[in-house]
A and B are shown apart, each in its own frame.
Chain A
Amino acid sequence: MEKRATFSSTTIGLLFAAPMLVLIFVFFYWPSGQALYWAFTLEQPWGGGNTWVGLQNFRQLLMDPYYWGAISRSMVFGLGATSIAMGVALLLALFTDREMRGHKAYRSIFIWPYAIAAPALGLAFRFILAPEAGFLSLINQIWPGLWNPALDGTDAMIAVIVAFSWKYIGYNFIFFLSALQSIPRSLIEAAAMDGSGPMRRMWDIQLPLLTPTLFFLLVINITESFQDSFGIVDIMTQGGPARATELMVYKIYFDGFKGLDYSGAAAQSIILMGLVVLLTIVQFRFVERRVHYK
């Protein structure tokens, strides 16, 4: 029998749970509730109470071409960053799995980028990708003006995508690698006996067995690209040039804190939250239904 402490009164139990409950309430439910409240009301910038306006904030948003612009840019950003982060990580993992079975050290090395806060990362990449002094300044010396994220919207988008991908490559790599290493070695050997070369084995055996991990990471990466991109955009481009990198999450901050449109920003947060919730539901649904091979 498992030993476990039991409490006669629920009060003691609740007391133990209280600190966590308080944290969750203060940092999650309360702000969410506030956002929900603001999203359906209109608040005067200089105070003076809120008036209930129903869906008017949302209607206004959905008619705003700038908001749709932010949505499509978020999609471009999300798809670009996710495919780079996952593609590169998968390649690295496949080759690492082949060469370095049993080594552990690189796992912790590769996870480090994930531990770096987005703004710090953004700052680093701002220097790295700076047109005058960064790594890419060489290109500009050969073809002047080819790379300039401060003036060229496409360059700016590429810059934030690269910075974001760099952070998530390590994260994805860890998941891919451990999924690869949990594939029984004898499967690979059986395929080798069946005449399959290394590349063919990756394609026929390893990748199909990775699909649950692939899907999981796809959802995580897209979700994070919606949320975790703020710090990078804020430090590197501030949404510019000319809104070229104004993603949904950045627009929330900009409209709310710079434009002081609390209600509009709150409505945007609700939409973003809805999107993330939707993705999460899709993931759980899919993962549950997914054929698990064992």
Chain B
Amino acid sequence: MSSIAIKGVKKAYAKNAVVHGVDLEIATGEFIVILGPSGCGKSTLLRMIAGLEDISGGEIWIDGKLVNKMEPRARGCAMVFQNYALYPHMTVAENIGYALKVAGVPKAERMKRVAATAKVVGLEAFLDRRPAALSGGQRQRVAMGRAIVREPKVFLFDEPLSNLDAKLRVAMRAEIRRLHRRLGATSVFVTHDQTEAMTLGDRLVVMNGGRIEQVGTPAEVYNRPATRFVANFVGSPSMNLMEGSIDRHGVFVYDEQRRIPLPGAIDARLVGHKVTLGVRAEAARLVAAGTPGSLPATVDFIEELGAGRVVHTDFDGLSFAVALSDPAAFETGDTVGVMIDPADVHLFSAESGARINALAQLPPVPVAS
């Protein structure tokens, strides 16, 4: 078991920089999820921790040891690959036991540990099969088994569930969680699936374009997104964002008909500045058209989700989603009012995208880190 410290880590391929100075502290036994869109450098960061990719700048410490120049095998990490990377010419038992064989563990003990691991991942019946004769979910379990059999200090997962169907993914998610509770090894899990991220992680690391946008618990990231990017990326449907400005009375103005009063005192320097206002679909309500304080909108289409539904409305060209738990009493084309509670709004600087926390305290143009 061990902690990981990442200090100003950079990665460039030839001249092309893909990770721009990442700082992150991971505590012993923590389950960290790195979340971000495709191509943002998640895998690259993970592979640098694993030792599969050279580090162009900065330092990575595992267990208090600088590992920048260490071979993968010296770092004590186990990794589950997205495509599983099972050895096609070995049986399930040989796949799981390979690391032990390399480590020189005697055969009898090896067999015992492989059998115990197979039990944990539910593969006892398949030990003699080759990977080609397994289903996707079973292969995934072999990959997991191969990682846990060594009792590693650190688990690294690179989108291990993305090749599974939706149902299996949910089941494997629960299993990974259970496994982590049992083994307690420090885990870094890369994904671009936010549901996976929210349900698995002790803490989330949201990445974009080779930088970290926010680090925090799932609740923090959801409730207080640090940047406009995080607000938009985390949550489904994604947060409604409106560009507008703040007037003298501390009212957010989107257009003539759509104004939202903001809570708290307004810093005089903010008046007239461009800001982005965000509202979660769950925080907005639909009311009859013309209700005082509501924003006029037309119903665009309704997304039925079973337990609830998302009504997509239109603000003269800007799409705005409202999540309802009751059956919708509206149809496409209806004019409605959208009600927003001022306490539920998030403000972001229009220039930098950084969150504006307390209007009264921040300088006019907050600078993103």
Which A residues are within 8 Å of any B CB, using their own CB? Answer: 184, 186-187, 189-197, 200, 204-205, 208-209, 291, 293-294
CB <8 Å contact, B73 and A193: yes
Which residues from chain A contact B146 at a C-beta distance below 8 Å? 190, 194
Which residues from chain A contact B132 at a C-beta distance below 8 Å? 293-294
Which B residues are within 8 Å of any A CB, using their own CB? Answer: 50-52, 71-73, 77-79, 81, 83, 85-89, 98-99, 102-103, 130, 132, 146, 150
- In the bound complex, what is the Cα–Cα distance between A205 and B88 (angstroms)? 9
- In the bound complex, what is the Cα–Cα distance between A196 and B98 (angstroms)? 9
* Nearest neighbor of B52 in chain A, beta-carbon distance: A189
Known A197-B73, A293-B132; contact A209-B98, beta-carbon cutoff 8 A = no
Residue from B78, B88, B103, B130 in contact with A193 in the complex, judged by beta carbons closer than 8 Å: B78
CB pairs A–B below 8 angstroms (28 shown) = A184-B85, A186-B83, A186-B85, A187-B85, A187-B87, A189-B52, A189-B72, A189-B79, A190-B79, A190-B81, A190-B86, A191-B87, A192-B51, A193-B50, A193-B73, A193-B77, A193-B78, A193-B79, A194-B73, A194-B98, A194-B146, A194-B150, A195-B99, A197-B71, A204-B98, A204-B102, A208-B89, A294-B132
Tell me the smallest distance from the CB of B75 to a CB of chain A, in Å.
Answer: 9
Tell me the smallest distance from the CB of A101 to a CB of chain B, in Å.
Answer: 14
- In the bound complex, what is the Cα–Cα distance between A293 and B130 (angstroms)? 8
Tell me the smallest distance from the CB of B250 to a CB of chain A, in Å.
Answer: 55
- In the bound complex, what is the Cα–Cα distance between A43 and B185 (angstroms)? 86
Tell me the smallest distance from the CB of A213 to a CB of chain B, in Å.
Answer: 13
- In the bound complex, what is the Cα–Cα distance between A208 and B71 (angstroms)? 24
Residue from B72, B88, B130 in contact with A209 in the complex, judged by beta carbons closer than 8 Å: B88
Residue from A184, A196, A291 in contact with B102 in the complex, judged by beta carbons closer than 8 Å: A196
- In the bound complex, what is the Cα–Cα distance between A189 and B52 (angstroms)? 7
Known A195-B103, A293-B132; contact A189-B98, beta-carbon cutoff 8 A = no
- In the bound complex, what is the Cα–Cα distance between A205 and B78 (angstroms)? 18
Residue from A186, A189, A190, A293 in contact with B89 in the complex, judged by beta carbons closer than 8 Å: A293
Which residues from chain B contact A204 at a C-beta distance below 8 Å? 98, 102
CB <8 Å contact, A293 and B88: yes
Tell me the smallest distance from the CB of A214 to a CB of chain B, in Å.
Answer: 13
- Main secondary structure, interface of A, reads helix
Which residues from chain A contact B81 at a C-beta distance below 8 Å? 186, 189-190
- In the bound complex, what is the Cα–Cα distance between A46 and B89 (angstroms)? 62
CB <8 Å contact, B79 and A195: no
CB contacts between A and B, total, < 8 Å: 63
Which residues from chain A contact B99 at a C-beta distance below 8 Å? 194-195
Which residues from chain B contact A194 at a C-beta distance below 8 Å? 73, 98-99, 102, 146, 150
Which residues from chain A contact B98 at a C-beta distance below 8 Å? 191, 194, 196, 204
- In the bound complex, what is the Cα–Cα distance between A187 and B143 (angstroms)? 12
- Please give 14 more A-B residue pairs, beta carbons under 8 A apart, in addition to A187-B88, A194-B150: A184-B83, A186-B81, A186-B83, A189-B72, A189-B79, A193-B52, A193-B79, A194-B73, A194-B98, A195-B73, A196-B73, A196-B102, A197-B73, A209-B89
CB <8 Å contact, A192 and B102: no
- In the bound complex, what is the Cα–Cα distance between A169 and B52 (angstroms)? 32
Which residues from chain A contact B89 at a C-beta distance below 8 Å? 208-209, 293
- In the bound complex, what is the Cα–Cα distance between A291 and B89 (angstroms)? 9
* Nearest neighbor of A184 in chain B, beta-carbon distance: B85
Which residues from chain B contact A189 at a C-beta distance below 8 Å? 52, 72, 79, 81, 85
- In the bound complex, what is the Cα–Cα distance between A193 and B50 (angstroms)? 8
Which residues from chain B contact A191 at a C-beta distance below 8 Å? 87, 98
Which residues from chain A contact B72 at a C-beta distance below 8 Å? 189, 192-193
- In the bound complex, what is the Cα–Cα distance between A253 and B110 (angstroms)? 61
Tell me the smallest distance from the CB of A57 to a CB of chain B, in Å.
Answer: 48
CB <8 Å contact, B85 and A190: yes
Tell me the smallest distance from the CB of B76 to a CB of chain A, in Å.
Answer: 9
Rank and list the top 10 A-B pairs by shortest CB-CB distance, nearest first.
Answer: A293-B88, A186-B85, A194-B99, A190-B85, A195-B73, A208-B89, A195-B102, A192-B72, A193-B79, A196-B102
- In the bound complex, what is the Cα–Cα distance between A293 and B87 (angstroms)? 9
* Nearest neighbor of A185 in chain B, beta-carbon distance: B85
Tell me the smallest distance from the CB of B303 to a CB of chain A, in Å.
Answer: 37
- In the bound complex, what is the Cα–Cα distance between A193 and B98 (angstroms)? 11
Which residues from chain B contact A190 at a C-beta distance below 8 Å? 79, 81, 85-87, 146
- In the bound complex, what is the Cα–Cα distance between A288 and B98 (angstroms)? 29
Tell me the smallest distance from the CB of A280 to a CB of chain B, in Å.
Answer: 26
* Nearest neighbor of B53 in chain A, beta-carbon distance: A189
Which residues from chain A contact B103 at a C-beta distance below 8 Å? 195
- In the bound complex, what is the Cα–Cα distance between A273 and B27 (angstroms)? 71
Which residues from chain A contact B52 at a C-beta distance below 8 Å? 189, 192-193
Tell me the smallest distance from the CB of B297 to a CB of chain A, in Å.
Answer: 49
- In the bound complex, what is the Cα–Cα distance between A26 and B73 (angstroms)? 62
* Nearest neighbor of B73 in chain A, beta-carbon distance: A195
Which residues from chain A contact B83 at a C-beta distance below 8 Å? 184, 186
CB <8 Å contact, B79 and A294: no
- In the bound complex, what is the Cα–Cα distance between A192 and B72 (angstroms)? 6
Which residues from chain B contact A184 at a C-beta distance below 8 Å? 83, 85
- In the bound complex, what is the Cα–Cα distance between A25 and B186 (angstroms)? 72
CB <8 Å contact, B87 and A200: no
Which residues from chain B contact A187 at a C-beta distance below 8 Å? 85, 87-88
- In the bound complex, what is the Cα–Cα distance between A194 and B145 (angstroms)? 12
- In the bound complex, what is the Cα–Cα distance between A204 and B50 (angstroms)? 21
Which residues from chain A contact B78 at a C-beta distance below 8 Å? 193
Tell me the smallest distance from the CB of B279 to a CB of chain A, in Å.
Answer: 43
